[in-house]
C-alpha cells in the first residue's frame, strides 16, 4: 500500500471512508475513552482521572503529530507513511508509561489503570511490528476500545455494535488503500489480544 486512495468507485464511498477514518482515529479514541471509563466507574472524580490519562496518552502524541504535519515531517495525522511512525510512536510509549505510573501511584480507579496498561501493552505489540510491516493502529485501537467498553457497558450489545464499528474502520482503511486486509486483521487481533488478558489480570 502506497497511501494513495483508491482511484475507482464512487466519491461518496471514499468520503465515507475518510469520515470513518477521522472519527475513529486512534488519537480520538485514546482521548475520549479514559474519561468515559473513569466516569462510569467512579463518577466525576474518575472522569477527572480520565482527563489526566487523556492528556498524556492522547494529547501529548497528538500534539507531536500535529507539529510534525505542520512542519512537513509527517504526511498526515494518520501516519500513512510507515517510515515516519517511529518518533511519534516512541513519544506515545513514553507518554502512556508516564500516565500509568502517575495513575497507579496516586490511586486512580482500577479499571482506568488497567485501560492505560492495555494501551501500553498494545504499543508493545504493534510498535515493533510497524517498524517492519504496516500493521493498522486504527484497527488495533478500535478493537481494544471495544474490549474495554464491555467492562462498563452491557457485554453482548457492546460486542455486537463494537464489532460492526471495528469492521467499518477496517473497511475504511482498506478502501482508502492505507492498509491491506491482512494489516487491518492483524491490528484488530493485536488490539483484542493486548486488552483482554490485561483486563483479566487486573480482575476487572
Residue 161 in any domain: the answer is: yes
Contact of 139 with 169, CB cutoff 8 Å:
yes
State pLDDT tens for residues 3-23. 444 444 578 899 999 999 999
- pLDDT, mean of residues 44-62: 93
Total tally of structural domains belonging to the chain: 1
Q: Residue 1: inside a domain, yes or no?
A: no
- The pLDDT score that the predictor gives to residue 6 is 47
3 domain-assigned: no
d(CA 127, CA 14): 28
What is the span of the domain harbouring residue 87?
11-202
Give yes or no for residue 80 having a pLDDT over 70. Answer: no
d(CA 72, CA 58): 21
Q: What is the pLDDT of residues 21-46, one digit of tens each?
A: 999 999 999 999 999 999 999 999 99
Dig out the grid coordinates for 167 from the structure.
Answer: 469492521
Q: Is residue 44 part of a domain?
A: yes
C-alpha 38/C-alpha 33 separation (Å) is 9
Q: What mean pLDDT do residues 99-122 have? A: 95
Q: What is the pLDDT of residue 179?
A: 94
Write down the pLDDT at residue 9.
52
Find the helix or strand (DSSP H, E) in which 65 lies. Answer: helix 60-71
Confidence of residue 2 (pLDDT cuts 50, 70, 90): very low
pLDDT tens-place string over residues 81-90: 767 777 888 8
Q: What is the DSSP letter of 176?
A: T
Task: Tell me, yes or no, whether 2 lies in a domain.
Answer: no
Tell me 123's DSSP state: H
Phi-psi region of 10 (alpha: psi -120 to 50; beta: other; left: phi over 0): beta
Distance of CA 145 to the CA centre of its chain: 7
pLDDT of the residue at 72? 79
* pLDDT tier, 64 (very low <50, low <70, confident <90, very high otherwise): confident
pLDDT digits (tens, 9 = 90+) for 122-179: 999 999 999 899 999 999 999 999 999 999 999 999 999 999 999 999 999 999 999 9
> Residue 174 CA to chain centroid, in angstroms?
17
Amino acid at each position: 500500500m502506497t497511501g494513495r486512495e483508491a482511484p475507482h468507485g464512487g466519491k461518496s464511498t471514499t468520503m465515507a471512508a475518510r469520515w470513518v477514518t477521522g472519527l475513529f482515529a486512534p488519537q480520538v479514541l485514546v482521548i475520549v475513552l479514559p474519561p468515559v471509563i473513569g466516569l462510569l466507574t467512579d463518577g466525576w472524580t474518575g472522569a477527572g482521572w480520565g482527563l489526566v490519562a487523556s492528556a498524556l496518552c492522547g494529547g501529548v502524541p497528538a500534539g507531536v503529530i500535529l507539529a510534525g504535519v505542520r512542519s512537513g515531517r509527517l504526511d498526515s495525522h494518520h501516519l500513512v507513511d510507515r517510515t515516519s511512525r517511529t518518533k511519534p510512536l516512541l513519544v506515545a510509549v513514553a507518554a502512556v508509561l508516564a500516565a500509568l505510573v502517575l495513575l497507579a501511584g496516586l490511586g486512580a480507579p482500577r479499571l482506568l489503570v488497567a485501560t492505560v496498561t492495555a494501551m501500553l501493552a498494545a504499543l508493545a505489540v504493534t510498535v515493533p511490528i510497524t517498524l517492519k510491516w504496516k500493521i493498522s493502529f486504527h484497527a488495533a485501537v478500535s478493537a481494544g476500545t471495544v474490549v474495554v467498553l464491555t467492562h462498563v457497558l452491557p457485554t453482548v450489545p457492546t460486542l455486537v455494535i463494537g464489532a460492526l464499528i471495528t469492521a467499518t474502520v477496517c473497511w475504511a482503511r482498506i478502501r482508502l488503500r492505507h492498509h491491506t486486509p491482512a494489516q487491518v486483521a492483524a491490528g484488530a487481533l493485536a488490539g483484542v489480544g493486548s486488552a483482554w488478558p490485561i483486563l483479566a489480570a487486573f480482575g476487572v
